Amino acid sequence: MNSAHFFCHPKVANLDLQESWCFCIKMSRRRTSRTKFAKTEQTEEKLVEDENRTSENELSGGDWRDLKTAGQCLDQLCLSEQLSDISFTFKEDQNVKLPAHKLVLSMRSSVFEAMFYGPIAESGNTVLIEDIKPDTMKIVLRFIYSDSAELNGNNVLSCLYAAKKYCLQGLIEKCSAFLEDHIDADNVCEVHEQAIFYDIKSLQQKCFDFILENATDVFLSKSFLEISHDTLVSLLKSDELSEDEENIFSACVEWARNKCKLDNKDPSAETLRETLGDALYDIRFPAMSMEKFATVVTPSGILTSTDQITLYQYFATVGSSPLYNFTSQKRAGKVITLDVSKYTAKSYGNVVHEYCLMFRLANGLQPLNHGRTVVRVKSLTGIFVPEVRHVTHISNLGHENLEFFANGNKLTFHTPIHVTEKCCFMFTGDESQPDIPSFFHFNERFSVVRNRRKIVKGETIYITRIPNGLKSISFV
């Protein structure tokens, strides 16, 4: 029965358009369900009455497409055999078969379009996948059909590989964003190498900056030993690499040892030197103290005798002899400087009788490896610096006397100090007169109690005590 016959039906003649259309739908369903209705002796009037009562329910749930958006319909079809015309099988697990739809895949991926509709299109209805696991392919298909992807630390790199293979830019961006949000000292080198391999510039730069700023912890990670020689050279050439030069040298030696192990080579001093190559001359040996050079570098035997003589002459002449292949420029680190002078104005009330700089961590500032955070104090300036003789670092990890050097009103720590919970820098001066507390003769030089919230390297810290006369604090 066609639509014209429907509208000539005696029961349709006296109905308006909407009622007529509903009746036509009911009659069409009745015609295609003859077996069902043959089992009952209800009259036609009774059937119409029953269908009138249930028509709303049938329209809302009788068909999987009903009341669904286009996106919801695609989501419904994902990994469903309904209307599917292609299936993926897997070399690693031959029992798995994932159904899909060529048109949908081709809409999202130029690779699939070429695979199914190009000049050398697949002729069969199955595609064998040899380099992607079924669980990863499920995530890829789910993204294609719904734009969603359930990523985690175990699957993100395999999903990134699949996304690049099938030119799924949206999934690439999701994987990249996930990795950026989850890099840490243990995995940053691996993620950096993957970012280079997949040519994801933003992720590569984020990882590189993280390594520069957190070299102390990154050098202790296993993944650092597996970075490429090119990456190692790039790090060593950077002025922003934030670590003592002797530690940089030691990390490079361990990298070279691991490389020799992978290549089944004897890690002799000569082989280590050959493995490092020109990278050896990007280590800034002249920036070390002669003591560190003598105790850390010389015993390794990695530098030739000629290079050692050159450096010892440089140390002995206080920098006046030529360096040839080496550079004496010290690394600055990626420095962030806060001006705190306005918080240290003379105060008559809110002070403590200690000369100290104190920090409090904000909620959410999580420590990296070994209990240290991403925020480190490198140097500070203040009118009191020329009088400072000792700096004691007090934290929840204990007390430590810090090594520093002063130049005018600037005090720089030999090793940047991590800001931890209950972190305090206690400054003392000439203690030859123990009966007179250091700085006590300057009433305005007691520390001012403040609670200043600051954002450093994307993290929130609070400066709770500030010594009067302090001008700035530099972080790396």
The contacts of residue 264 (CB under 8 Å, 6+ apart) are: none
The alpha helices in 32-65, defined as continuous H runs, are 34-38, 44-61
Q: Are 409 and 471 in contact (CB under 8 A)?
A: yes
Beta bridge partners of 380: 411, 473
Q: Are 431 and 438 in contact (CB under 8 A)?
A: yes
Phi and psi (nearest 5°) for 457? 55, 40
What's the pLDDT score for residue 432?
55
What's the pLDDT score for residue 346?
56
What's the pLDDT score for residue 84?
92
What's the pLDDT score for residue 395?
84
How confident is the prediction along the chain (476 residues), in pLDDT tens digits per residue? Answer: 444 444 344 444 444 444 443 444 444 444 433 333 333 344 444 444 444 433 433 444 468 788 889 888 888 899 999 999 999 999 888 889 999 999 999 999 999 999 999 888 877 899 999 999 999 999 999 999 999 999 999 999 999 999 999 999 999 999 999 999 888 888 999 999 999 999 999 999 999 988 987 788 899 899 999 999 999 999 999 988 878 899 999 999 999 999 999 999 999 999 999 999 999 999 999 999 999 999 999 999 999 999 999 999 999 998 899 999 999 888 876 678 888 888 876 555 677 778 899 998 876 555 544 455 668 898 899 988 998 999 999 987 788 899 898 888 989 887 788 888 778 999 988 765 544 444 444 445 588 888 888 888 777 889 999 988 899 998 88
Q: Smallest Cα–Cα separation from 421: which of 396, 400, 438, 445?
A: 396
User: CA dihedral defined by 177, 251, 267, 308, rounded to 10 degrees?
Assistant: 140
Beta bridge partners of 351: 448
What's the pLDDT score for residue 445?
58
Distance CA 356, CA 444 (A): 13
DSSP 314: H
The contacts of residue 134 (CB under 8 Å, 6+ apart) are: 90, 92, 93, 96, 98
pTM for the model: 0.62
